[in-house]
A and B are shown apart, each in its own frame.
Chain A
Amino acid sequence: MSKPVSALMGAAYDGIVRVEDCGLQGMITLRGDLASKPVIAAATGATGQDMPGQRRANVAGQSGLCWMSPDELLVLVPHGEVGDKLAAMTKALGDAHSLAVDVSDARAMFRVSGANAREVMAKLAPVDFAPGAFGPGDFRRSRLAQVAGAFWMEEDGSFCIICFRSVADYVFKLLKVAAQPGSAVGVF
């Protein structure tokens, strides 16, 4: 068995913000009726987090629930526990019409932190990042330049970004360019 590694092996860049590969993160896609009891039990049981509202993320450390669409959640769990959590979720779902799949190794995750984090994100995604419009706990699926990406804001004002692993290098380079020293716009 080969050793699991994250997409960019912990690469980091310091510009007007700090951009870093978050390392290994367990992710489970859960689809189903988000109002049904088995789905709620499976999601909350695996993470200890409450069900998120529309376009919200409830994340603490490496465990959390992110609202992806009206019938989809992204369940975050520590990478080493994915197998056990997935088995427990599958059991909790029973014969409810639903789907839970381990997608950990199909994804890459980045963190953008620093005072200019909103600016860097606003350069790449067609989303209103004004402080009143996007705050801690808010979650969006959108695009980062030319590829799909999802992101949420942490309590400390940093952003966590999830993208497909196949475009991890592209996204990291995008973030590096957007975070070049001297490139602050000063709009927020």
Chain B
Amino acid sequence: MLILTCPYCGVEADETELAAGGEAHLKRFGPGSSDEELHGYLFTRENPKGVHLERWRHASGCGKWFHAARCTATLEVFGTYKAQVSGPPQEIRDAISAKRPGWSWREFS
């Protein structure tokens, strides 16, 4: 079972307390954007075997959204971080690099 530490309330919450929120760090394209950009925003998703960044919500706990970095192949969790960022903070990147040297995910590495 996946166990993530909520960065807001500090709880080691198991999967049954959490709600999955899909891919992290999506850039929104709304009115005025091109068809390709809107299509990409709506439908194009990463489906990696390995490092993945996701959004989660501590639904049965403090109710806050947060981010998690984990490996889809091994379920290893590299870390969780707060929602008010547009990319993974340096310590999360370092934690991933320590376990998966040379990783990349979208524009992050």
Q: Which of B30-38, B59-67, B90-98 is found at the contact surface with chain A?
A: B59-67
Using A126-B16, A126-B17, A143-B16 as known contacts, say yes or no to A54 and B9 having CB atoms under 8 A apart.
Answer: yes
| Contact of B17 (CB < 8 Å), options: A54, A68, A69, A143 | A143
Shortest distance from the beta carbon of A143 to any chain B beta carbon, whole Å: 4
Using A55-B9, A55-B10, A140-B11 as known contacts, say yes or no to A69 and B62 having CB atoms under 8 A apart.
Answer: yes
Using a Cβ–Cβ cut-off of 8 Å, how many residues does chain B contribute to the interface with A? 13
Quick one: CB contact mask for A52-71 with B, threshold 8 Å, 1 for yes?
00110000000000001110
List chain A residues, Cβ under 8 A from B17: 126, 142-143
Quick one: CB contact mask for B62-85 with A, threshold 8 Å, 1 for yes?
111000000000000000000000
Using A54-B9, A55-B10 as known contacts, say yes or no to A70 and B62 having CB atoms under 8 A apart.
Answer: yes
Residue A141 lies at the interface, judged by CB distance under 8 Å to chain B: yes
Q: How many A-B residue pairs have CB under 8 A?
A: 35
List chain B residues, Cβ under 8 A from A140: 11, 61
Q: In whole angstroms, what is the CA distance A148 to B60 when docked?
A: 6
Residues A69 and B11 in contact, CB atoms below 8 Å apart: no
| Contact of B10 (CB < 8 Å), options: A54, A68, A142, A148 | A54
Q: In whole angstroms, what is the CA distance A142 to B9 when docked?
A: 12
Interface size class on chain A is 10 to 19
List chain B residues, Cβ under 8 A from A143: 16-17, 60
Residue B46 lies at the interface, judged by CB distance under 8 Å to chain A: no
Using A126-B16, A126-B17 as known contacts, say yes or no to A141 and B8 having CB atoms under 8 A apart.
Answer: no
List chain A residues, Cβ under 8 A from B9: 54-55, 69-70, 141
| Contact of B60 (CB < 8 Å), options: A54, A55, A68, A141 | A141
List chain A residues, Cβ under 8 A from B8: 69-70
> Can you add 6 more A-B contacts, CB < 8 Å, to A126-B14, A148-B60?
A54-B9, A69-B9, A69-B62, A126-B16, A141-B63, A143-B16
Interface set of B (CB-CB < 8 Å, partner A): 8-11, 13-14, 16-17, 60-64
**12 pairs from A and B in contact (CB 8 Å cutoff):** A55-B11, A69-B61, A69-B64, A70-B9, A70-B62, A126-B14, A140-B11, A141-B9, A141-B60, A143-B16, A143-B17, A143-B60
